[in-house]
Homo-oligomer: A and B are copies of this chain.
Amino acid sequence: MHTEIIKALTSYVSLTQEEVETIISFYTYKKYPKKTIILHAGEVCKFEAFVIKGCLKTYFLDETGSEVVLTFASENWWVSDISSFYEGKPSKMYIDTLEACELLLITLEDKEALLRQLPQLERAFRIMIQRHLSVYQERLFASIALSAKERYAIFLEKYPSIPQRVPQHLIASYLGISPESLSRIRRGRV
C-alpha cells in the first residue's frame, strides 16, 4: 500500500528496509469520500499529503467567488499548501477531493521529526519542491505566451489521463479559459 511513496522518495536517495519502515510509521493513511474539502481558505494547512489513490483539486476563489483551479493532484503526486504548511500562516486556497481518495498524511511536527531522524530525506523533499516549482514556471510561461488552444494541447500531452476523470469546466478553469471556449477548442471550431 505504501510502496509508491517509497518509490517517490527513493528516486533520489537509497534507503534500508528499516528506514523505509521508519518513514511509513510517520505517515497516516486516511480515506476521504468524493467532494470533501480537506483545506479551507483561512485555515492553516496542517498536512502534507501523498496521493495513493484518487484525484484532488487545489484552487482559489476570485473576486466574483468563482473557482480558479491551480492544480490537480492524482496518484503519486503531493498535495498541500506548502507555504501555509511550513510557515504556519493561514492559507488562501482550498483543497477538495474530486473522487474518493486515499492519502498518506504527515503533520509538520512529524515531518520535522522524520527529517531529524533521516536527514538524507531532505534531499528528496527538496527535489520534490523543485519539481513543483518547475511545473508552476512552465505553466506561467504558457499562460503568458501561448494561446488557449496551445495551452490545451500541452495539457493533453502532459496529463492525458486527467480529462477522463475531471469535469471539463475544471480543466477550463485550470487553463484559464471559459468552459464555452474550451468546448469550442475541443470541437476544432477555433
Contact = CB atoms under 8 A, between A and B. Distances in A.
A140 B139 CA distance: 8
Interface residues of A, number: 30
**Number of this chain's copies in the complex:** 2
Interface of A is mostly: helix
Contacts of A26: none
Nearest to A135: B136
Contact of A141 (B68, B86, B119, B145): B68
Given A125-B126, A143-B144, A145-B176, 15 more contacts: A60-B141, A62-B146, A68-B141, A68-B145, A70-B140, A82-B134, A83-B131, A83-B134, A83-B137, A87-B130, A119-B119, A119-B122, A136-B136, A139-B140, A144-B176
